[in-house]
Amino acid sequence: MLGTTRPVRDPDPVAPGPFDRLRPRVFVAVAVTVLSTLGSVAAARDQAWAVQPGLAGLLLLLVAPAALVFLLPRRPALATVVSVAAALTFLLLGRAWGPVLLGPVAVLAGVMLSGTARRARVIAWSGAALLAGGVGTVATLLAPRLEQQLRDNPPDLPREWGPPGPPFHGPGWADDGAWFLTTGSLVAGAAWLAVVLLVASAVRDRAARRVAARAAARETAAERERTAVASERLRIARELHDVLAHSLSAINVQAGVGLHLLEKHPGQAREALTNIRDTSRDALAEVRTVLGIVREDGAPLTPTWDLTALNRLADQARAEGLDVAVDLPPDVGDLPDHLMGVVHRVVQESLTNVRRHATSVGRVTVRLTRGDHLEVTVADDGAPAGAPAEPGYGLLGMRERVEGAGGTLTVGPRPDGSGWLVLARLPVPAARPERPGAVAPSPDRAAAPPSDTPEPGETA
C-alpha cells in the first residue's frame, strides 16, 4: 500500500513453551527432589529386599532435577538421557522402586513443554520409549536375584494385605513390595507415562494456540492501522492535488494574462492580479482545511460543499477566458455532503484538465441530472493539445473518488468527436434529509466578489 512496508514474517514461527522460563522448572525440580527423596526412603521400608538410598542414591535422585533446571531447554536430549540413566542406575543398585521414576518422568514432561514443539515431541516420546524399555530390562535382570534373595530371607510381614494362603515369593506377590515387577504393573506404568506425555503435549498445543491467537490479533491490529494510515495519506494526497492543481493552473493562466496586458491595458492587468489573489486565497483556505486533518486540531475530516461552490468554479474558469455554462436542476440541493464533495472535485478536475490539455475551446458545459442516479457531465468542444497525455494523478484521484462513492466514471472523446466528455454516475441514498442551512443554488447566482483588502493572517 501507499507509504507502508510490510514486515517480513517468519513462515514457521516458534511458539515458546511454558518450561522455557526458569521459574516453573525450578518449582517442579524442587517438588521432584522432595517427593522422590522422601518417597524412596519410605518405599525402602516397604520393599523387604531394598536398601536405603544412601549418599550415592541421593546423588542419583538429584540428577533429574538438576537436568530439569540446567539442561532445559537448550539440551533436551542430554537431559533425557542422563535422567533416565540415573534412574536405571538407582534401580540396578538395589534401591527401592517407584518414587525414583518421578524424576525422569518430570524431565520428559519438561522436554515436551520447552523448546521447539516438533523437536520436543520427538525427544520426549523417544525418551519415554527409552525409559520404558530400560525399566523393563532392569526388572527382567533383577527378578531372579530378588526371587532368590527373598527365598533365602523371607520377610516377616503380617498377612493383612494380599490373597489368603501360604506365602508366595517372587514377582507378583503382595506382602514384600514386589508387585510392580509383574508384567501388568510394567504395562500400567508405561500407560501412565504415555498419559503424562499426552497431557503435556495438550498443554503445549493450547499454549501455542494462545500465542498464535495473540500474534494474529497483533498482526490484524497492525494491518488495520497500516490500512488506515495509507487510506488517510491517499485521501490527503487527493485533496492536496485537487486544490493545488486547480488553483495553480488558474494562477498560471491569470499571471500570463496579467503580464501580457500589464503595459498596454493596466486595468485588465489589475483584474487578472485580483483574480490571482482571490484564487490563491481560496486555495490557501482549502489547504489549511486539509492540513488541519494532519494536525488533528478539530478540522472536519472532509471539506463540506454546497452547490454554490460549482458556480465559483465556473466564475474562476470564466475569468480565465473559458465560456462555462452550469446547468443545476432545483432538486439537487439536498444531496449529502460526501456526495457534494465528489461532485465538486469531479467538476474542478475536469475544468483544470480543459485549461491544461484542450485548445480552441468554445464552450464548456457542466450539467447535473438527477434520477435513479446523479449524473455529472462536463463536456467541452475543444481539440486535444497534441498527443494524448498519460493519465495523471488527477484522473486517478477523480476515479477513486467516484468509485469510492459507489459510482462509475467515463472519460474520453465525445461520441460525435467534437470535444471531450467526463461523465460520472453516482448513486443517491434513499434517505434524503435536508441539511440545515443549505443554500439552494441558482445557475445565475455568482459568488460575491472578494474585498481588495487582504484579510489578516492570510499568509501561510
| 420-427 and 383-384 beta bridge pairing | unpaired
Tell me the pLDDT band of 242, cut-offs 50, 70 and 90.
low
Report pLDDT for 385.
53
Query: Which of the 8 DSSP states describes residue 373?
Result: E
Q: Cβ(340)–Cβ(306) under 8 Å?
A: yes
Report the relative pairing of strands 364-370 and 358-359 from DSSP bridges. Answer: unpaired
Q: Taking 50 as the threshold, does the pLDDT of residue 22 lie above it?
A: yes
355-406 pLDDT, tens digit each: 777 777 778 899 998 888 889 999 988 766 554 555 566 788 788 888 888 8
Question: Quick check: helix, strand or coil at residue 167?
Answer: coil
Mean pLDDT for the stretch of residues 109-135? 93
Phi, psi of 267 (to 5 degrees): -65, -45
Give yes or no for residue 320 having a pLDDT over 50.
yes
- The type of residue at 436 is P
pLDDT of residue 5: 43
pLDDT at position 127 is 95
412: left (phi over 0), alpha (psi -120 to 50) or beta: left
pTM exceeding the 0.75 threshold for the entire prediction: no
Phi/psi region, residue 348 (left: phi>0; alpha: psi -120 to 50; beta: rest), is: alpha
Greatest C-alpha distance within the chain? 140
Residue 90 has pLDDT above 70, yes or no: yes
pLDDT band at residue 313 under the 50/70/90 scheme: confident
Half-sphere exposure of 170 (CA within 13 A, CB side): 4
Within 8 A by CB and 6+ apart from 61, the residues are: 33, 36, 37, 40, 53, 86, 90, 100, 103
